[in-house]
Amino acid sequence: MTPENEAAARYFSAITAALSGLEVFMRDDRSPLYRHGIVAKIVAEYIARLDKSFSCWRNRLGFMDTFRISRADSGYPVFQNLLELENDRRQADTRLAGIPLAGELREEMADFILRHKEFPQALQKSMAERLYLEDVKSGSTFGPFTLAQTAKVSVNPKTLRPYYLVHWASFDGSANLPLIYMVTVEDSSEDMIRQLVDSSGKLNERVDIPLPVDGLLNPELAHRFDDFTEKNSAYTLSPATIAVNLDKDFEPLHPKQLRRVVLGPFYSAGITDNNTTVTEVLAKVRKPENAWLLTWTIQEVYSKAEKPGRKGLFSSEKTTQEFFINTDDLEAARQGVSSYENHALIPHEAYQALYAAGEAQKIFSGYKVHILSKGQVISDV
């Protein structure tokens, strides 16, 4: 195995362990998101998509020589890898038609070894390509942009408007970071109120809503909403900016809360160099598969009040939200959020190394630390 392949194998083992640990954490009843069960479930679904992408990329290395990651910044693959994954997904059927079936390839490989007494590298590459294309064909990878889904529908008893929990995701091409978005939005469209709200002010049980629903539940606004989310998902946009834009661009939609989960940066010994201190300490961890650190941030902005609209003969104003920005917290003000949480997940062995080096307190200042040990996540350390 070449040094490049050894490094890639270490990286894939580390990121796979990190994402598996993160999924365990999201499903743990001590997770801060667990009390919002549907939120943790949504995040876990996107983590599973990321995990599938890494599984595909690992297979891709069996027949392609290069794989680039953002070593100095996010620790994630560069955006080009996601574009190639998406392109390969579209071409999968055509390319698979030109590659023998897995059973045939195994027979050819066995026959080649018997006849030539050497390993059939060309056949191995064909097998790796077939496995990769079959894997990527499923479409459940983390793409450059994942269209919105409506995950929950209810009625606000005060406003008597239906409201939706809608989520989508993007991989920011500049920051090379996976971003997960969730918005709770009320809908004052007359048609939707008539259909979804019964005479007692509750959700109309006679309307069958097969959740999750692709796109925004309101069909009149669904395409526009997709366009909006695709154009307003950049990491450089603050959650407050996105929420204000949504409030401004859609007359009948009233965003009450917007969450963004930023998955990263990721640190891996001998691979990433996005933090010198972390890199140096992780390099001392005995087992390479435990020499990593995954961080993530949960950002939230919510509406503290609604300014009523005004309809006049010559001009009118739409109903607008007043979003709360915590200006008492300089970091919250900088991020454009009501609140935020920084989290870090790290294997027990790596945490011990950081603690022994006297770096743990400095590195994890401002973070909620979660330690992965024997398949369990220990928080509040």
Per-residue confidence (pLDDT) for residue 116, from 0 to 100: 86
Per-residue confidence (pLDDT) for residue 381, from 0 to 100: 61
Alpha-carbon distance 85 to 167, whole Å? 22
The answer to whether 371 touches 365, Cβ cutoff 8 Å, is no
Tell me which DSSP letter residue 309 carries. Answer: P
Does 168 share its domain with 277?
yes
The band of 309, judged by pLDDT with boundaries at 50, 70 and 90, is confident
Alpha-carbon distance 166 to 188, whole Å? 16
pLDDT tens-digit profile of 212-232? 999 999 999 999 999 999 999
Residue 163 has pLDDT above 70, yes or no: yes
Per-residue confidence (pLDDT) for residue 9, from 0 to 100: 82
Angle at 294 between CA 88 and CA 365, to 5 degrees: 150
In-domain check, residue 24: no
Does 132 share its domain with 153?
no
**Total domains in the fold of the chain:** 2
Among candidate residues 106, 121, 138, the one where a domain is terminated: 138
Per the prediction, the chain carries an average pLDDT of: 90
Which range is least confidently modeled, 4-8, 121-125, 144-148, 367-371? 4-8
The answer to whether 74 touches 265, Cβ cutoff 8 Å, is yes
Per-residue confidence (pLDDT) for residue 318, from 0 to 100: 84
Residue 196 has pLDDT above 90, yes or no: yes
Per-residue confidence (pLDDT) for residue 378, from 0 to 100: 82
Residue 6 has pLDDT above 80, yes or no: no
> Who has greater pLDDT, 273 or 241?
241
Does 89 share its domain with 226?
no
User: Mean pLDDT, to the nearest integer, of 196-204?
Assistant: 94
Q: Residues, the chain, total? A: 381
Does 173 share its domain with 107?
no
The band of 1, judged by pLDDT with boundaries at 50, 70 and 90, is very low
| Structural domain of 320 | 145-379
Which range is least confidently modeled, 33-42, 118-127, 225-234? 33-42
Does 132 share its domain with 154?
no
In-domain check, residue 52: yes
pLDDT tens-digit profile of 87-107? 999 999 999 999 999 899 999
User: Mean pLDDT, to the nearest integer, of 117-122?
Assistant: 86
Alpha-carbon distance 67 to 184, whole Å? 38
Question: Over pLDDT 90: what percentage of the chain?
Answer: 67
Nearest to 369, CA basis, from 301, 192, 361: 361
Residue type, 363: I
Per-residue confidence (pLDDT) for residue 34, from 0 to 100: 58
The band of 32, judged by pLDDT with boundaries at 50, 70 and 90, is low
Among candidate residues 138, 156, 178, the one where a domain is terminated: 138
Per-residue confidence (pLDDT) for residue 314, from 0 to 100: 57
Alpha-carbon distance 71 to 355, whole Å? 24
Alpha-carbon distance 155 to 174, whole Å? 38
Does 213 share its domain with 281?
yes
Does 187 share its domain with 331?
yes
Residue type, 249: D
In-domain check, residue 73: yes
Tell me which DSSP letter residue 269 carries. Answer: T
* Cα dihedral 175, 165, 55, 129 in deg (nearest 10): -90
User: Mean pLDDT, to the nearest integer, of 154-174?
Assistant: 96
The band of 176, judged by pLDDT with boundaries at 50, 70 and 90, is very high
Does 194 share its domain with 275?
yes
In-domain check, residue 14: no
Among candidate residues 84, 105, 138, the one where a domain is terminated: 138
> Who has greater pLDDT, 276 or 323?
323
Per-residue confidence (pLDDT) for residue 2, from 0 to 100: 55
Q: Is 176 left (phi over 0), alpha (psi -120 to 50) or beta?
A: left
